[in-house]
Each structure stands twice: as structure tokens, then as C-alpha cells.
Amino acid sequence: MSDAWSAVAAGYLEHWVPRFRPFLLEAVDALAARALDLGPLAVPGCGPGEEVLALRRRLPGREVVAMDPSAPMLALLRARAADDPAVRVLEGAAEDLPARVSGAGGVLSCFTLQLLERPLEALAAWARAAAPGAPLVVLFWPRQAPDTAWGRLRPVIEAEAGAWRDDHEPATRAGLPALGLDLLEDRPVRRPMRHPSPEAAWDRLVDAGSLQGLARRVTPDALARCRARWLGDHGLTHEPAGDAEGHGPWVHAPEARLWVLRGGPRR
């Protein structure tokens, strides 16, 4: 997985980070609204670091420790935070956070949990890295409704590549009490996302996003068939006016999930 994300790092920063920014800012605000311990704020699975920079703006007095397994993603973050000594950048898997960080005043994870093979183990690790009672804010992509643009990806991909990953959210949520984690908030975050065209939306998913892994698993012909099927029923809505940032006139509103968790003794 790390190799696929490393290959798309520059394109991800250019295309997807501006579209994900409204979601990330909501997660940053959710962490900032909680009582935070005195330790550094930890960001496992930070990618190119948009949420890291946002945390520093929102909480300028706090050190932020950012961690990711992808060296190219971290290179982008190091360049973006080169003048900020309060940002510490570490290479490593998100699940390995406790080996590198202890007593974190809070943990923020954005769009990483759904990528991990064992999300419950990752949550347990992040809780161990945090100070007792410190908040964990976790933003992730749940399974999208089948009638949405991203929900329509599943059947076209499964037609060529077999069953996609099971929906991790129900089992992960059910396992939280056994980890000693309280779920304080659970809410959807839905924001409009715009693209220059349906074709561009698919192509950026492949060459700059989450479908890079698919492109490495199937033949070019199979990938082309997936593209054609999705473009035949993509679910994007055309709004000719576009938006102020110039992202394009083709819009959908994917739904993320935001959890605020707390482990350890209650305060």
C-alpha cells in the first residue's frame, strides 16, 4: 500500500488535498475543541501534511509529531513545514506510533483508518501513544451509499477484480469497548467535491489517489473496462457555474465519518 501512495504523492497533494481540505479542517476543529494534555499532538498517517499545517495554525503553541510510511509523502510535508521547528516528521507505519511517541496530548488521524488491514489494532496503538484520557479524533471514509458517485465505484471494480474489502466500520465500532475506548462523538461530514469532468475524476483516482492500488493489481484492459463502466453511470451532477476555486462543474458530496474517542481514566 505504501508503494502505491508513494507513487501518487505529488498528484495527491495537487488534486485531492484541496478537495479534502474542508473535511480535514472539521477534524482539526474537533480536536481543538477538546481538553488536550500537555504532550505533543500526534498525526499518524499524515500524508503530505495538510492537517498538520492546519493544526499548527489552529493551535500555534503546540508541537505536532507527524508520521507516515511513505517517504515521498513525508518529503512534501518537510518542504511545506521547513520553517516550522514545532513540526516533527517521522517515517513509520501508523500502527507503530507508540514506539515513536508517548504521552501525546491528542491524536488526529485523517483518511487513514479505512486503509489499514486491522483498524482496531491501529486505534489501540494510537490510544497507547496518547496520555490517559487524551482525545483521539479519527476521520475516515466509510462505505459510500450505492447510489452515490463513489458508491458506484464498487460494482464496476468488483466486476473485474473480485470482492472489494469488507466494510470495516461496524466491526471496528463494536470492538471499541474492549479496547477501553469511549466513543464521544460519531457524526457524518459531507462536503461538495468538484472535478473538471467525470473522466478527470476517474483518472485522478487512478494516477493520484486511492485507485492506484487497483491499477497495480489488474491488467490495463481490465482497468479500462472499469473506467468505461463507471463513466457510463458515474453519478456526478453537472453544475455549469462550477465553484470559486475553479475545481470544475462536476460535483458530488461524499460522506466521511468523524469519531471522537477517549481512552484511559476519565477526567
Give the per-residue pLDDT at 267. Answer: 41
Q: Residues of the chain with pLDDT > 90: what percent?
A: 90
Predicted confidence (pLDDT) at residue 202 exceeds the cutoff of 60 = yes
Average pLDDT over residues 154-163: 92
Mean pLDDT of the chain: 94
Sheet holding 250-252, edge to edge: 193-195, 250-252, 237-238
Q: Could you identify the residue written with the cell 469511549?
A: 182
Burial class (CB in 10 A: 0-12, 13-18, 19+), 247: middle
User: Are the C-beta atoms of 248 and 196 separated by less than 8 Å?
Assistant: yes
- Tallying the residues shown for the chain, one arrives at 267
Predicted confidence (pLDDT) at residue 265 exceeds the cutoff of 60 = no
What is the architecture, at CATH level 2, of domain 2-145+165-193+254-263? Answer: 3-Layer(aba) Sandwich (3.40)
Average pLDDT over residues 230-250: 88
Rounded CA-CA distance 196/242 in Å is 9
Cα-Cα-Cα-Cα dihedral sign, residues 18, 23, 26, 31: negative
**Nearest partner of 66 among 85, 93, 38, 43, judged by Cα:** 43
Q: What is the pLDDT of residues 204-223, one digit of tens each?
A: 999 999 999 999 999 999 99
Q: Residues of the chain with pLDDT > 70: what percent?
A: 97
> What ranges do the domains of the chain cover?
2-145+165-193+254-263
